[in-house]
A and B are shown apart, each in its own frame.
Chain A
Amino acid sequence: MIKLEHVYKSFGKLEVLKDINLEVKPGEVVCVIGPSGSGKSTMLRCLNHLERITSGTIYIEGEIADQRENNKDVLNISQEKVQELCTELGMVFQRFNLFPHLTAYENIAIAPKNVRKQSDAEIKVIADELLEMVGLEDKRDEYPSRLSGGQQQRVAIARALAMKPKIMLFDEPTSALDPELVGEVLEVMKKLANDGMTMIVVTHEMGFAKEVGTRVIFMDEGRIIEEGDPREIFDNPKEIRTKAFLNKIL
């Protein structure tokens, strides 16, 4: 579904991703863990072109989404194609990034309306269903400023799902939340995973990774150090760096 081949990414002289190779199959819930600055978020952001890779190849649904060498395109991909591929990926941000001038409902409706050109009636069905799924039917007409962090993040999840993406990317979705609000967001994500959604989740929630993840990836200094079954990684890490990280965090 998603494949990264020899992906490198540098910001100026700073190399943040070094030879990343990763394949995600349908239905997998891949949890990416690691210290801050290890390149987890950058890897996620490269998938939907929020960052451009320095070199390597990214496949989405079997199609080349990006292929570059030394910061130059090997394959010229049109802006329209990039936008189309972006709609296959739904993204949830650490700081929600809801549109503050739109209500919860309008936040969910805006992309189907403008990108997919769906009719208002179609959108209403989708949006109402999603609001119910994230448990916020009663907040339909509230502006984000009137919602708690957890509620905002749930709207953000619904907004991403409205485009019917095949893969959901979560970039530390609970890191900006007060501790008591983390649970409600994880609950929604769990529901999503149980429904068979393919997910890549950058997270510090080890409990979630252990319980919901089908695979855990440990990254450090821009490399994938270790990957495998969550239980195995948490209970019996092979690499010294993984052990050190888990000791610090658990």
Chain B
Amino acid sequence: MLTQPQIFAIIEGTIKTLQITSIAIVAGILLGMIIAIGRISKNKVLNGITWLYIWFFRGTPLLMQLFMFYYMLPLFTLDIFGTAVRLPGMFPAFVAYSLNSAAYLSEIFRAGILSIDKGQMEASKALGMSYTQAMTKIIIPQAYRRLIPPVGNELIVLLKDTSLVASIGMFDLLRTVNQMTNATGRWQYYLYAAAIYLFMTSIIQVAFGKIEKKYSAYE
């Protein structure tokens, strides 16, 4: 069975996994909303910038983005500015996961807003509502419900993908048990990790199912 230090190590790894996931989903939702508005807007500059953002962060591997903020940034800044800028502690992971999930979430938001029948905007305008009023009172509340399942899905993907931080030397849940197996030659540790991952993703699944039900009253 597990020794006490091992239990602590696993708990610590799990906390790291949760920290990265929760920061990335919150920052990703906020940034993702801004990017989605930019993608929808008629302003060509905003539209172009947000398109480039999504193009880059969806079109390159997450692992590479992680390497860029961890390995490339100090080398790059040293080369260009003469001093190496290093993001402290877990920040390379926070930044990479936040920016990456923002790209995916913004596309989810954009699709959700565009999926609302254009008659809804027309009816709002015909009643004298401003664009902002129509968006906040009519369009977004309807899009909101449709967004719950894909956002839940994104959260689960994000949680599992945090295991990539092992490759930049961080001890998350997976790397912690991997280390234990390497040290002892016992295979059971992977099962503990699997159980913890499943426990966390199940909670997300159940919670999002409940939220979705709550908001589908009118259908």
Interface residues of chain A, those whose CB is within 8 Å of chain B, are 48-50, 79, 83-84, 86-87, 89-91, 93, 95, 97-102, 110-111, 114-115, 143-145, 159-160, 163
Q: Are B125 and A48 in contact (CB-based, < 8 A)?
A: yes
Is A114 within 8 A of B119, CB to CB?
no
Question: Closest CB of chain B to A188's CB: distance in Å?
Answer: 18
**Bound-state Cα–Cα, A111 to B137, Å:** 10
Interface assignment of B209: CB less than 8 Å from any CB of chain A: no
Residues 88 to 112 of chain B near chain A (Cβ within 8 Å): none
Q: Chain B interface mostly helix, strand, loop or mixed?
A: helix
Which residue of chain A lies nearest to B215 when distances are taken between CB atoms in the complex?
A: A101
Q: Is the CB of B127 within 8 A of A111?
A: yes
Contact A115 B119 (CB under 8 A): no
Within 8 Å of chain A (Cβ to Cβ): is B84?
no
B119 CB, nearest partner CB in chain A, Å: 4
26 residue pairs bridging A and B, Cβ less than 8 Å apart: A48-B126, A49-B125, A50-B122, A50-B126, A83-B129, A83-B130, A86-B125, A90-B126, A91-B123, A93-B119, A97-B117, A97-B119, A97-B122, A99-B138, A100-B142, A102-B218, A111-B129, A115-B127, A143-B217, A143-B218, A143-B219, A144-B218, A145-B219, A159-B127, A160-B126, A160-B127
The answer to whether A91 touches B126 (Cβ under 8 A) is: yes
- Residue pairs across A and B with CB atoms within 8 Å: the count is 68
**A144–B133 CA distance with the chains assembled, in angstroms:** 21
Closest-CB distance, A78 to chain B (whole angstroms): 12
Q: A114-B133, A115-B133, A145-B218 are in contact. Are A99 and B123 (CB under 8 A)?
A: yes
Q: CA A153 – CA B39 in complex, angstroms?
A: 34
- A65 CB to closest chain B CB (Å) equals 13
Q: How far is the CA of A100 from the CA of B119 in the complex (A)?
A: 12
Instruction: List chain B residues, Cβ under 8 A from A89.
Output: 126
Residues of B within 8 A of A144 (CB): 218
Q: Let me know if A86 and B130 touch, CB within 8 A.
A: no
- Least CB separation from B126: chain A residue: A91
Inter-chain CA distance A144–B217, complex, in Å, is 12
Partner of A87, one of B127, B137, B138, B217: B127
Beyond the given A48-B125, A83-B128, A102-B218, please list 18 additional residue pairs across the A-B interface where CB-CB is below 8 A: A50-B125, A83-B130, A84-B128, A86-B125, A86-B126, A87-B127, A93-B123, A95-B119, A97-B117, A100-B219, A101-B141, A110-B137, A111-B129, A114-B133, A115-B128, A144-B218, A160-B126, A163-B128
- Are A93 and B122 neighbours in the complex by a CB distance under 8 Å? yes
Report the nearest B residue to A162, measured CB to CB: B127
